Amino acid sequence: MLLALVLVALNLRLAITSAASLLTLLTDAGALNSVTVVLIPAIPTAVFAVAGVSTAKVAARLGVERTVAIGLAVLAAGLLIRAIPQPWVVVAGTVIATGGLAVVNILLPAVVRSHFGRSIGTVTTVYSTAMSLGAATAAATAVPVAIAVGSPTVGLAAWAIPALLALVVWALVMPLPRPAAIDAAPRAERSARVGGAAGGRGYPTGTWLLASFFAIQSLLSYVVMGWLPTIATDAGLSPERAGLLLGIAMAVGVPATVIIMPLARGAKRMRLGFVIVGSATTAGVLGFVFAPLALPELWAGLLGLGMCAFPLALALIATIGRDAAEAARVSTAVQSIGYTVATLGPLGAGALHQAVGSWTPVLALLIVGALAQITVGVVLTSVVWRGVGSVREV
Task: Give percent of the chain with pLDDT exceeding 70.
Answer: 85
Decide if 299 is inside a domain. Answer: yes
Three-state secondary structure call for residue 320: strand
Check pLDDT > 70 for residue 289: yes
What letter would DSSP give residue 203?
Answer: E
What value does the mean pLDDT take over residues 2-13?
91
What letter would DSSP give residue 182?
Answer: S
Check pLDDT > 90 for residue 390: no
pLDDT digits (tens, 9 = 90+) for 108-145: 877 887 888 777 778 878 888 888 888 888 888 888 99
Decide if 185 is inside a domain. Answer: no
Answer yes or no: are the C-beta atoms of 8 and 166 closer than 8 Å. yes
What letter would DSSP give residue 264?
Answer: G
Least confident span in 294-308, 336-350, 355-369: 336-350
Q: 3-state secondary structure string, 80-106?
A: HHCCCCCHHHHHHHHHHHHHHHHHHHH
State which H helix or E strand residue 199 sits in: strand 198-200
* Top-confidence residue, 300 or 107: 300
Check pLDDT > 90 for residue 187: no
Residue 27 forms beta bridges with which residues? none
- What's the pLDDT at 246? 85
| 21 φ/ψ angles, rounded to the nearest 5 degrees | -70, -25
Strands (E), 129-182: none
Answer yes or no: are the C-beta atoms of 5 and 127 closer than 8 Å. yes
What value does the mean pLDDT take over residues 290-304?
92
Decide if 190 is inside a domain. Answer: no
- What's the pLDDT at 379? 87
Decide if 253 is inside a domain. Answer: yes
Q: What is the CA radius of gyration of the chain?
A: 20
How far does Cα 279 stand from its chain's mean position?
20
For the chain, give percent helix, strand, coil, nearest 5: 80, 0, 20
- What's the pLDDT at 319? 67
Give the chain's end-to-end CA distance (angstroms, integer): 20
| 119 φ/ψ angles, rounded to the nearest 5 degrees | -135, 40
- What's the pLDDT at 385? 56
Check pLDDT > 70 for residue 66: yes
Rounded-to-integer distance, Cα 325 and Cα 204, Å: 12
Which residues constitute the domain of residue 340? 2-175+196-386
pLDDT digits (tens, 9 = 90+) for 91-103: 999 999 988 988 8
Check pLDDT > 60 for residue 191: no
Decide if 273 is inside a domain. Answer: yes
- What's the pLDDT at 122? 82
* Top-confidence residue, 387 or 68: 68
pLDDT digits (tens, 9 = 90+) for 242-285: 888 988 988 887 788 778 777 767 667 888 888 999 999 999 99
Rounded-to-integer distance, Cα 301 and Cα 7, Å: 24
Task: Give percent of the chain with pLDDT exceeding 90.
Answer: 30
What value does the mean pLDDT take over residues 216-229?
89
Count: domains in the chain? 1
Q: What is the CATH number of the domain that holds 331?
A: 1.20.1250.20
- What's the pLDDT at 113? 77
Check pLDDT > 70 for residue 226: yes
- What's the pLDDT at 366? 95
- What's the pLDDT at 374? 94
- What's the pLDDT at 384? 61
Decide if 266 is inside a domain. Answer: yes
Answer yes or no: are the C-beta atoms of 290 and 364 closer than 8 Å. no
- How many residues are given for the chain? 394
- What's the pLDDT at 201? 47
Decide if 12 is inside a domain. Answer: yes
Decide if 393 is inside a domain. Answer: no
Rounded-to-integer distance, Cα 38 and Cα 359, Å: 14
Answer yes or no: are the C-beta atoms of 21 and 138 closer than 8 Å. yes
What value does the mean pLDDT take over residues 336-354?
85
